[in-house]
Structure 1
Amino acid sequence: MMSVNDKVLKLAFLGEWDTLLPVLRNYPHLINLPSEPKGYTPLHQAAWHGATLPVIGELLFLGADRSITTHSRRQTAYDIVIEKHKRPDLEYLLFPKKVTIAQIIRKVVLTEPQIFEVYDGNLILVDKLIAAFGVELRPDKIEELENRLHHLFFALTGQTINAEKMIKFDAAQGFSFDVNPAFFGQTFFPLICRTAQAEHNLVESEWATVSDLFEPSPTQWGLRGDLFLWLEMRQSLCQVSLPKDTDELADIISAAFQALTGKSLISRVGDNDFFVERFSRGGMSSGYVSSLYWLNEFIPQLQARLNWLQTAGL
């Protein structure tokens, strides 16, 4: 009788997803099971077959690791898609993105709501942590992540994580809140570190933000300043939840464009390219931003990414 391991590998090899996915739901620890001798996991096989977005989405949801490479050719699932298919949707979903510290914090907040109270000053400080970390990648070593958390706590509060007294601050006139260092040292930061150790992919829409649509960066740019605007926009939108539709996303990007450049995205004729001093880093077209390129290339690309995530069920 065929073992569950052998069944998973055979079904993945054949691309029989309707049969395989129920098995993996019952045995999620087999999601990254490699074949022998080539080392193809179910996600590698899905990339090879050019599987549908819902299939890819469920594999990722079950814990498929996009960073794993095959034994034979050292390929990720993303590498296989690049080689075998012209599928920008799969390229986006399978790109081996690294998890950010802010993503991990957002996940803990949304999966452990019981640790916070109503009008909780601790949660307000958590929001500040997310904004401060922005798109900073998770360190490889948990000890380094723990140090980053402790140092930022001190930077934002002026107190160490070992402070014995509650830290008071006024959010507005008549609204005073307490931050409990013990909560962060004994509960919240350990939760973040445990989550960081367990997570290879943070793809679920509940804790995704518009910023997550910006990775990976485009391979082509309009003008040199567009690169730096892209990076600033990614940072500034790290706390904006994913919208439900592409029109709302376009409105968000347009508003961020005007906030960061001082120019409307819908420019007057002959005023499509403009100069932003802080984006000037040398070279031809240095500091110049192309509003037409954002309208015709970047925004449609971001809208497509949102559609792909939604179709994949992520």
Structure 2
Amino acid sequence: MNDNVLKLAFQGKWDTLLPILRENPRLVNISSEPKGYTPLHQAAWHGANLSVIGELLSLGADRGVVTQSKRQTAYDIAVEKHKRPELDYLLFPQKMTIAQLLRKVVATERQLFTAYDGNQILVDKMIAALGIEQCPDDLNELDNRLSHLFFALTGKAISTADTIHFDVAEHFTFTVEAEFFRLIFFPLVHQVAAKKISFPEREWAVVSDLFEPAPTGWGSRGSLFLWLEMRRALCQVSIPEDEDELENIISGAFQALTRKSLIHRVGDDEFFVKRFSRGGGSSGYVSSLYWLNKFIPQLQQRLTWLQAVWAISPRNP
């Protein structure tokens, strides 16, 4: 069956191949010998349509796998052979962030938490603290990072037997249990990381997932540093249902981070933000017009592509 899957992918016969992969999703990442092409590499080479790419991703195709011959990802092949922005976005081999791992566990293991659960409040703080930090390849390092973060946020070692109490308001005292994180939650995060999921899922995707990869050009002072700040600021904001709602979210974040509205007067669409000034003649300047005309439509496009992938089929566990 492996040879048949690889042959059908090489030939681009998706109508025949995809039903086989639906029945045998474990085969979605098999690679050819000696070149090392997976079905996703072949889909990129053929410039397959969005439904094919989307289904391969929903079945668990790994965007980070490289070929043996040229050490190329599916993204590299798509960039080399096609000018397809939807392929560039969907195939970009972005690693999972640690915050994404935590969000996935929360979304899929809701029974872990009770009402007004202090453990879940601490998880929320961890997600905010981690922002867009990528998951390390060494899972032992991941475990160490989580343990150190627990200590940083609670002042207690993960090995403590004490129940940790904290107040958020008068008459609202919450508890955190190190044993829960040590024996239950962190091992689940470790298990998710070991599966090497490489594509955002509807249940835990957030707006910052739309910001990677970053644009290749910044036009008239679009501001790289505003893009990075906005990506971090929106790392806990759920993906909206439609493009207009996304525009409202981006517009609100733009104003919060720059103190300027995207609704500008003629001739007043460029302004200076001191903390973005990192050297260079136009460094520190932001163009609201560029965000309106370039970045927001680009993010809205990415939203539609994500939704198209999610609509194809649920990801297999």
TM-score (norm 2): 0.95
Name the aligned partner's letter for residue 189 of structure 1: F
Secondary structure in 2 aligned to 1:274?
strand
Question: What is the alpha-carbon distance in structure 2 between the residues aligned to residue 223 and residue 296 of structure 1?
Answer: 11
Counterpart among 166, 169, 173 of residue 169 in structure 1: 166
Question: What is the alpha-carbon distance in structure 2 between the residues aligned to residue 225 and residue 278 of structure 1?
Answer: 15
Aligned counterpart, 1:282: 279
1:246 aligns with 2:243: yes
Alpha-carbon deviations, 1:5-54, whole Å to 9, x = none? 12211221122222212211221221111112322110011111111212
Aligned counterpart, 2:43: 46
Aligned counterpart, 1:298: 295
The aligned runs of 1:63-82 (5 Å cut-off) are 63-82=60-79
The aligned runs of 1:132-147 (5 Å cut-off) are 132-147=129-144
Question: Deviation at 1:207?
Answer: 0.8
Q: Is the 1:225–1:279 Cα contact (8 Å) retained in structure 2?
A: no
Question: What is the alpha-carbon distance in structure 2 between the residues aligned to residue 70 and residue 117 of structure 1?
Answer: 46
Question: Deviation at 1:158?
Answer: 1.0
Name the aligned partner's letter for residue 219 of structure 1: T
Question: Deviation at 1:223?
Answer: 4.7
Question: Deviation at 1:174?
Answer: 2.1
Aligned counterpart, 1:90: 87
Question: What is the alpha-carbon distance in structure 2 between the residues aligned to residue 196 and residue 285 of structure 1?
Answer: 41
Question: Deviation at 1:199?
Answer: 1.9
Q: Is the 2:163–2:175 Cα contact (8 Å) retained in structure 1?
A: yes
Aligned counterpart, 1:307: 304
1:107 aligns with 2:129: no
Aligned counterpart, 2:262: 265
Name the aligned partner's letter for residue 244 of structure 2: D
Aligned counterpart, 1:231: 228
Question: What is the alpha-carbon distance in structure 2 between the residues aligned to residue 82 and residue 214 of structure 1?
Answer: 18
Question: Deviation at 1:313?
Answer: 2.2
Question: What is the alpha-carbon distance in structure 2 between the residues aligned to residue 224 and residue 126 of structure 1?
Answer: 36
Alpha-carbon deviations, 1:47-85, whole Å to 9, x = none? 111112122122112221111112222221111111211
Counterpart among 218, 221, 225 of residue 221 in structure 1: 218
Secondary structure in 2 aligned to 1:169?
strand
Question: What is the alpha-carbon distance in structure 2 between the residues aligned to residue 223 and residue 285 of structure 1?
Answer: 9
Alpha-carbon deviations, 1:208-230, whole Å to 9, x = none? 10001000000111355711100
Structure 1 gap ranges (5+):
none
1:18 aligns with 2:9: no
Question: Deviation at 1:191?
Answer: 0.9
Name the aligned partner's letter for residue 124 of structure 2: D
Question: Number of paired residues?
Answer: 311
Extract structure 1 runs of 4+ deviating beyond 3 A. Answer: 222-225
Aligned counterpart, 1:188: 185
1:8 aligns with 2:5: yes
Question: Deviation at 1:171?
Answer: 2.2
Q: Is the 2:222–2:291 Cα contact (8 Å) retained in structure 1?
A: no
Question: What is the alpha-carbon distance in structure 2 between the residues aligned to residue 274 and residue 189 of structure 1?
Answer: 44
Question: What is the alpha-carbon distance in structure 2 between the residues aligned to residue 147 and residue 217 of structure 1?
Answer: 29
Alpha-carbon deviations, 1:102-127, whole Å to 9, x = none? 01100111111111122211011100
Q: Is the 1:224–1:284 Cα contact (8 Å) retained in structure 2?
A: no
Structure 1 residues 257-266 or 59-68, which shifts more? 59-68
Q: Is the 2:66–2:72 Cα contact (8 Å) retained in structure 1?
A: yes
Secondary structure in 2 aligned to 1:313?
helix
Q: Is the 2:258–2:273 Cα contact (8 Å) retained in structure 1?
A: yes
Question: Deviation at 1:200?
Answer: 3.5
Structure 2 gap ranges (5+):
312-317
Q: Is the 1:61–1:203 Cα contact (8 Å) retained in structure 2?
A: no
Question: Deviation at 1:162?
Answer: 1.2
